Amino acid sequence: MALKVMHEEGGVRGLYRGLPATPFGVAPYVGINFAAYEALRGYITPPGKASVVRKLVCGALAGSISQTLTCPCDVLRRKMQVAGMNALGVRYTGAINAFRGILRTEGVPGLYRGLWPNLLKVSPSITTS
């Protein structure tokens, strides 16, 4: 598959489509997650009421908040990664081009496409971590 991608999608560069957008989504996601957890912790798990359930709720909420705020970056990354697939019929030259294309064709809701499945995936993993 790697050879096919390299052959059909611009060489080695095709293997790393979407990579530049990844740090712009991952770094804020982690930062927002920790900040949200620390902010929520004071309200949800005050001293003397720090039960396991409260901590799990705090983690789930923090993960959901960070995922929601960074969802557009995740959508950009994913769209750029699959842009080389011929069946999609869309080609992006970079993250800015992809951002503009999504806004033009799908509007702002397009930047949040797939948010609910991501929340269903992220919340349990962040809750336990």
Tens-level pLDDT at each residue, the chain (129 residues): 888 877 877 788 777 766 776 777 788 989 999 999 999 998 998 888 888 899 899 999 999 999 999 999 888 888 877 765 554 566 777 778 888 988 999 999 999 999 999 888 877 777 777
Taken in order of first residue, the domains within the chain and their CATH numbers are 2-124 (1.50.40.10)
Whole-angstrom distance, CA of residue 55 vs CA of residue 64: 14
Of 25, 31, 33, nearest in space to 122 by CA: 33
pTM above 0.95, yes or no: no
